[in-house]
Amino acid sequence: DIQMTQSPSAMSASVGDRVTITCRASQGMNNFLAWFQQKPGKVPKRLIYAASSLQSGVPSRFSGSGSGTEFTLTISSLQPEDFATYYCLQHNSYPLTFGGGTKVEIK
Amino acid sequence: EVQLVESGGGLVQPGGSLRLSCAASGFTFSDHYMDWVRQAPGKGLEWVGRIRNKPHSYTTEYAASVKGRFTISRDDSKNSLYLQMNSLKTEDSAVYYCARSAPGDCAGYWGQGTLVTVSS
């Protein structure tokens, strides 16, 4: 099984900050990596697919990068509506596995 | 517009069974793989399982935590996905989501979820 270690688990940031969230895979994988945003009481929403492709309708301040065992989600300038929990998901091999989540809170 | 609507959640006793459904519309259901994902209260996301489409023989994959107890099926004529859950445990309590996938593409669209509570 591929374990996805996501860091940090929580963070405080201010509007306008650059935010970086990392997922490390326990073994090398292809770019079958997606990022999701979830707000309290809401359904998860996919932001990034194939490690770096922006989902249609998602603001360009979100970007994904990485390969092999390390993948990154970057928010270039945090906006008020971006305070949420973020998850990575590997679908390179079964079982599919999510990272533990990163809660981004207001500083 | 892609729509996925789950139903069938509720309260069930430990050891009991429940069948969830997911009604799909707005896309060619038979073309897609479908996933079930769950989220226990206050916890993170957990992939439950997947069913592939007809060209891939409707084969299934499951998380270890549910293998042998849960069964995923689909009826392409009804644009519907199912999750049969048997021998339920308290730790199966969660919101269950269905999600649309495809080879190389995962969980691009989600339903609103249905809550399953396993308690005596």
| pLDDT at site A93 | 96
Instruction: Calculate what percentage of chain B has a pLDDT beyond 70.
Output: 100
CB atoms B101 and A97 under 8 Å: no
- Please say whether the beta carbons of A57 and A48 come within 8 A: no
- Of A6, A19, A7, A5, nearest to A105 by C-alpha is A19
DSSP letter assigned to residue A55:
P
Query: What are the φ and ψ backbone dihedral angles of A79, each rounded to 5 degrees?
Result: -110, 160
- Of B2, B75, B69, B63, nearest to B36 by C-alpha is B63
Nearest CA in chain A to B67: A95
| pLDDT at site B104 | 86
> How far is residue B35's CA from residue A50's CA, in Å, rounded to a whole number?
17
Q: What is the pLDDT of residues A69-90, one digit of tens each?
A: 999 999 999 999 999 999 999 9
| pLDDT at site B38 | 98
Task: Kindly list the residues of chain A whose beta carbon comes within 8 Å of any beta carbon in chain B.
Answer: 32, 34, 36, 38, 43-46, 49-50, 55, 87, 89, 91, 94-101
Arithmetic mean of pLDDT over chain A: 97
> How far is residue B63's CA from residue A52's CA, in Å, rounded to a whole number?
26
- Please say whether the beta carbons of B4 and B98 come within 8 A: yes
- Return the minimum-mean-pLDDT range out of A34-38, B68-72, B103-107: B103-107
Residue A96 distance to chain B (closest CA, Å): 6
The answer on pLDDT for A107 being more than 90 is no
Residues in chain B with CB shorter than 8 Å from the CB of A87 are 44-45
The answer on pLDDT for B103 being more than 90 is no
> How far is residue B11's CA from residue A2's CA, in Å, rounded to a whole number?
33
Chains A and B form CB pairs within 8 A to the count of 54
The answer on pLDDT for A102 being more than 90 is yes
CB atoms B62 and A91 under 8 Å: no
CB atoms B104 and A36 under 8 Å: no
C-alpha angle with apex B45: B77 to A6, nearest 5 degrees?
135
C-alpha angle with apex A5: A92 to B97, nearest 5 degrees?
60
Are β-strands A102-106 and A85-90 bridged in parallel, bridged antiparallel, or unpaired? antiparallel
CB atoms A44 and B110 under 8 Å: yes
Interface test with B, best of A54, A96, A102, A103 (most B CBs within 10 A): A96
Of residues A49, A96, A98, nearest to B44 (C-beta): A98
Residues in chain B with CB shorter than 8 Å from the CB of A23 are none
> How far is residue B91's CA from residue B47's CA, in Å, rounded to a whole number?
14
Of the two residues B105 and B21, the one the predictor is more confident about is B21
The answer on pLDDT for B1 being more than 90 is yes
| pLDDT at site B75 | 98
Look up residue B97 and give its two tokens. 């989501």
CB atoms B47 and A95 under 8 Å: yes
